């Protein structure tokens, strides 16, 4: 079966949510929808460590070690005075992230095709290990990044 345009989601369909409660449960009262404030969700890691053992006849045996954690890095638009997030007591997102910096059960989940039933969603609950202050760019953008590290699960939205 050929892939058609209807099989390819657009970036405007994506839904990105955070749970800064240090519970990683994504209940209604502690889930923040943030796709209107971010410019990128980048994922790296998840590789297995490997080692090679060459023997005298030239054969090389490769063994697989531990799976490394994933790292999700988010680039966001810096705001001040935005009080729309009730789950973080009306704070701006960057301010709330700074308060949660170092917590070990922070969650991010994203659904590339949107949050409709039947779509896939990816979730990482882990350590919020990086929250950068906003950077001032010559083109006028004021952006910052934050990053989480942990395992990623995927699920079908019901």
pLDDT in tens, 120-150: 999 999 999 999 999 999 999 999 999 999 9
Q: Give the CA distances from residue 108 to residues 23, 49, 71, 96, 153, in Å, rounded to whole numbers and listed in that order.
A: 12, 25, 11, 14, 11
DSSP assignments along 45-108, one per residue: E-PEEEEEEE-TTS-EEEEEEEEPPEEEEEEEE--SS----GGGTT--HHHHHHHHTT-S-EEE
What's the pLDDT score for residue 28?
87
Q: Per-residue confidence at 80, pLDDT binned at 50, 70, 90?
A: confident
- Calculate mean pLDDT across residues 83-108: 87
Q: Is the model's pLDDT at 90 over the cut of 90? A: no
Handedness of CA 130, 150, 42, 50 (dihedral sign): positive
Of all residues in the chain, the percent with pLDDT exceeding 90 is: 76
Which one has a higher pLDDT value, 56 or 5?
A: 56
Which one has a higher pLDDT value, 126 or 10?
A: 126
Q: Is the model's pLDDT at 62 over the cut of 90? A: yes
Q: Per-residue confidence at 88, pLDDT binned at 50, 70, 90?
A: confident
What's the pLDDT score for residue 26?
92
The domain segmentation of the chain, as residue ranges, is 5-156
What's the pLDDT score for residue 89?
78
What's the pLDDT score for residue 78?
93
Assign domain 5-156 to its CATH architecture.
Beta Barrel (2.40)
Which one has a higher pLDDT value, 1 or 65?
A: 65
């Amino acid at each position: 079966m050929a892939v058609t345009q209807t099989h390819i989601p657009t970036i405007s369909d994506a839904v990105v949510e955070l749970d800064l409660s240090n519970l990683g449960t994504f209940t209604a009262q502690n889930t923040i929808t943030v796709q209107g404030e971010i410019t990128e969700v980048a994922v790296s890691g998840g590789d297995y460590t490997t080692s090679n053992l060459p023997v005298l006849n030239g054969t090389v045996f490769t063994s697989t070690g531990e799976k490394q954690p994933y790292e999700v890095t988010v680039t966001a638009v810096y705001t001040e005075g935005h009080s729309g997030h009730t789950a973080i007591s009306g704070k701006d997102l960057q301010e709330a992230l700074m308060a949660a910096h170092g917590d070990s059960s922070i969650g991010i989940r994203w659904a590339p095709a949107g949050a409709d039933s039947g779509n896939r969603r990816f979730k990482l609950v882990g350590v919020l290990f990086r929250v950068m202050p906003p950077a001032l760019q010559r083109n006028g953008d004021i952006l910052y990044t934050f990053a989480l590290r942990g395992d990623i699960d995927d699920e079908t939205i019901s």
